[in-house]
Amino acid sequence: MADPSIQTFCCHKPRMGNPSVSLMSEFNSTTYNIVCLVSSILGCLGAIYQMLPRTDKSLSRRWFSLTSQRGRQIVVWLALADFLASLGVSMRSIVKLNNPMTTIWDEKEIIFCTILAAWIEYFYMVTWVWTLLYAVDTWLAFCQRHGYPKLYHTVAWIIPALLTTVGLTLLYFPNADCHNYGTSLRDTTFIRLLPNYVLMYTVIAAVMVLAPCFYIASARNADSLVSSCLGQVTNKERSVVQAIRIRFALTVGMFAICWTPNLVNGIIIWCTWGNLSVSVLLGLWYFMAVINPLQAFFNSIVYRRANTKIDFQFNVRLTDETTPLLPANINT
């Protein structure tokens, strides 16, 4: 699970009257962390599968591929971030299984917990940005325009770092006492908890809104691009265009399935704070524990090319993939 709610559990032990106590005890439970560990391991395997070097099984119809040279490399960077995020979840689960921190909040344990929280939040945020950039680059490709690889990397790695730093700095400093607040306006929970929620959920919501817009614009250009490349549109070409549109829908749908529960979780928490529905939140958190780390596994399916095979000899021939649709190299 990758959610701002988890970051607050790295803080010092709250007063027993705090509504988060019962939720925190479940977060430290063996069952919950086993679920996180299994799903994160599957996520790591899916990311590794994506990063394996590939070659084309045939040279036919590569003009309609959305993961040729530049698109393929975007997917690899997305997979790398997915792997590191899932690795962070698995490490956190292993630590919790061996030391659930149910009785003593040691300063060293809190520091280690915050480092893992920052690691997970940062790399998942990177995956969200790469997901959006893939949609942007797909649109540019259908417009027969070059990509902007240096800008992509700047946006994908720097912006999440800034957002993570701001959100967690406001949460953990000047002390890691996230739960025990007074009643004055300046001491309210919103001052330290809300910014991290807003920053994370804004990125998720932006991808959910903007990525479909770029894919819709790309789909509108698909017919004309196929006609200009082949000089004709037969039933076979129409089926290819339809397959591209289905792929766009699956990509958007996969992201929505993985991260909509997080948005719902945030709405529930901030609308019912002080009277949290523990049973509802726990059910939602277990679902998030399964679905969030599986993003990498789902990505290995929706971003997979049907006309490629894994090259176990690690003989990557990326320079062979030049097509009318994606003529530019992401490293240029």
Domain annotation covers residue 104: yes
In the chain, the number of structural domains is 1
3-state SS of 66-129? CCCHHHHHHHHHHHHHHHHHHHHHHHHHHHHHHCCCCCCCCHHHHHHHHHHHHHHHHHHHHHHH
Residue of 314 and 153 predicted with greater confidence: 153
Name the residue range of residue 28's domain: 4-310
The whole-chain average pLDDT of the chain stands at 78
User: pTM for the whole thing?
Assistant: 0.84
DSSP state, residue 246? H
Q: What is the pLDDT of residues 252-295, one digit of tens each?
A: 999 999 999 999 988 887 787 667 677 788 889 899 999 999 99
The angle, 0 to 180 degrees and rounded to 10, between the axes of the packed helices 107-142 and 235-271 is: 150
The answer to the question of residue 331 being in a domain is: no
Instruction: Give the per-residue pLDDT at 180.
Output: 54
Q: How far apart are CA 209 and CA 205, in angstroms?
A: 6
Q: What is the CATH number of the domain that holds 121?
A: 1.20.1070.10
Give CA–CA dist 52/316, Å, rounded.
10
Q: Is residue 24 part of a domain?
A: yes
In a domain, 330, yes or no: no
- Domain membership flag for residue 283: yes
Q: Does residue 322 lie within any of the structural domains?
A: no
| 320 part of a folded domain | no
pLDDT digits (tens, 9 = 90+) for 149-196: 999 999 999 999 999 999 888 887 776 666 555 444 444 566 777 888
- Asked whether residue 40 is domain-assigned, the answer is yes
Q: Per residue in 49-70, pLDDT tens?
A: 999 887 655 444 444 444 456 7
The percent of residues in the chain predicted with pLDDT above 90, rounded, is: 37
- What's the pLDDT score for residue 120? 94
